[in-house]
Chain A
Amino acid sequence: MEQEARQRIMAWVVSEVLPHEAQVRSWLRRMIAPDDIEEIIQEAYFRISCLADIAHIQNGRAYFFTTARMLVLERIRRSRIVRLDALTEIEASNIISSEPSPERSVAGRRELARVRRLIEALPERCRQIFELRKIEGLSQREVARRMEVPEHTVENDVARGLKLILHALAEGEQQAEEAFSNAREDERTRDLRRDQ
Chain B
Amino acid sequence: MSERETSDAINSAAAAWVARLDTGADAAVRAELDAWLAADERRRGAYFRAQAAWTMLDRACVLRGSLDMQPAEDIETERPRFSRRTVMFGSGMIAASVAAAAVGIGQLRQSTERIETAVGEIRRVPLKDGSFAAVNTNTRLAVTLKRESREVQLDSGEAWFEVAKDADRPFVVAAGDVRVRAVGTAFAVRRTGDGADVQVTEGVVEVWSKSDPTNVRRLSAGTAAFASNTAGPSLPADTGPDLDRTLAWRNGQLMFDGETLEAAAAEFNRYNMIQVEIADPALAQEKMVGRFRTNEPDAFARAAATVLGASAREEGNKIVLTRD
A101 contacts chain B at the CB level, 8 A cutoff: no
The answer for the CA separation of A44 and B46 in the assembled complex, in Å, is 9
Contact with A along B53-72 (1 / 0, CB 8 A): 11111111101101101100
B19 contacts chain A at the CB level, 8 A cutoff: yes
B45 contacts chain A at the CB level, 8 A cutoff: yes
Closest to B57 in A: A134
User: In the assembled complex, how far is the CB of residue B38 from the closest CB belonging to chain A, in whole angstroms?
Assistant: 12
How many B residues face the partner with a CB closer than 8 A? 53
How many A residues face the partner with a CB closer than 8 A? 61
Closest to A130 in B: B57
For A13, what are the chain B residues with a Cβ–Cβ distance below 8 Å?
Answer: 48, 52
Main SS class of interface, A: helix
Closest to B61 in A: A135
A108 touches B20 (CB 8 A): no
Q: Which single member of B10, B56, B66, B296 contacts A94 (CB below 8 Å)?
A: B296
B59 touches A115 (CB 8 A): yes
Given A84-B289, A91-B299: A45 and B24 within 8 A (CB)? Answer: no
User: In the assembled complex, how far is the CB of residue A187 from the closest CB belonging to chain B, in whole angstroms?
Assistant: 17
For A88, what are the chain B residues with a Cβ–Cβ distance below 8 Å?
Answer: 289-291, 303, 307
User: In the assembled complex, how far is the CB of residue B302 from the closest CB belonging to chain A, in whole angstroms?
Assistant: 7
B7 contacts chain A at the CB level, 8 A cutoff: yes
B292 touches A94 (CB 8 A): yes
B97 contacts chain A at the CB level, 8 A cutoff: no
The answer for the CA separation of A106 and B237 in the assembled complex, in Å, is 44
B100 contacts chain A at the CB level, 8 A cutoff: no
A41 touches B61 (CB 8 A): no
B52 touches A140 (CB 8 A): no
The answer for the CA separation of A91 and B264 in the assembled complex, in Å, is 15
Q: Which positions 27-53 of chain A face chain B at CB distance < 8 Å? A: 35, 38-39, 41-49
For A44, what are the chain B residues with a Cβ–Cβ distance below 8 Å?
Answer: 45
Listed stretches A155-163, A178-186, A188-196; interface member: A155-163
Given contacts A10-B51, A118-B57, 11 further A-B contacts (CB under 8 A): A42-B7, A44-B45, A47-B45, A90-B303, A91-B300, A95-B293, A115-B60, A158-B19, A159-B18, A163-B11, A163-B12
Q: Which 8 A-B residue pairs are closest in the complex by CB-CB distance?
A: A46-B45, A38-B7, A88-B290, A91-B303, A105-B70, A45-B45, A159-B19, A158-B19
Interchain residue pairs with CB less than 8 A apart (5) = A10-B52, A88-B303, A108-B63, A112-B59, A141-B24
Residues of B within 8 A of A (CB): 7-8, 10-12, 15-16, 18-20, 22-24, 41-46, 48-61, 63-64, 66-67, 69-70, 73, 253, 289-293, 296, 299-300, 302-303, 306-307
